[in-house]
Amino acid sequence: MAQIHILVAVNVAPAITGNLGDYVYMVDDSLDGSSGEGGHELETQCENGDILVWTVQSIDPDLKVSIDSFDGAATEGGDNALIAPTQVNGAKTIWRSSVNGTTTTAQPYSMYLNLNNGQAHKTFDPYIFSKRAQGAKK
């Protein structure tokens, strides 16, 4: 079981009026070969039992961004959902979830962002691919 950090960097000013996906840059520290790093459709490779930690950050420190919520295929199924992200210590910029199960294909999820204290609310759709645990990775 590993903890995988997912950084979501947002160029907030143009994202407020433009297509959010054009201004989101995602990376993670998965050792399993994630794909799509540097864009908005990161496919995080993980294993059943891993912990995912998302952190959202504005590229411009004078503008704010936070995560409002998650939904999508990876979050459906109640107690059997692949992921069930929750805020860390009430901070809307850091969320975490354990990975609960495996998938045969990448599963999409939606992340809803609050841009600059409510100036805009937008969403984008990255992916998770969960394999059967092979033992400790880190």
pLDDT of residue 137: 42
| Strand locations in the chain (E) | 3-10, 24-28, 43-47, 51-58, 65-71, 86-88, 91-98, 107-108, 110-115, 120-124, 127-131
> Mean pLDDT across the chain, nearest whole number?
93
| Averaged pLDDT for residues 18-32 | 95
Whether the pLDDT of residue 136 is over 70: the answer is: no
130 pairs with which residues across the strands? 46
Question: Does residue 84 fall inside a structural domain?
Answer: yes
Question: Does residue 138 fall inside a structural domain?
Answer: no
Write out the two tokens for 117.
């204290």
Domain count along the chain: 1
Question: Does residue 136 fall inside a structural domain?
Answer: no
Question: Does residue 137 fall inside a structural domain?
Answer: no
Domain, as residue range, for 23 = 3-131
Question: Does residue 92 fall inside a structural domain?
Answer: yes
Question: Does residue 14 fall inside a structural domain?
Answer: yes
What CATH number does residue 12 fall under? 2.60.40.3910
Q: In angstroms, what CA-CA distances link 61 with 1, 15, 87, 89?
A: 33, 15, 21, 21
Whether the pLDDT of residue 63 is over 60: the answer is: yes
Question: Does residue 67 fall inside a structural domain?
Answer: yes
Q: Where are the alpha helices (DSSP H) in 78-130?
A: none
pLDDT of residue 48: 95
pTM: 0.93
Whether the pLDDT of residue 108 is over 60: the answer is: yes
pLDDT band of residue 133 (cuts 50, 70, 90) is low
Residue with the larger pLDDT of the pair 91 and 64: 64
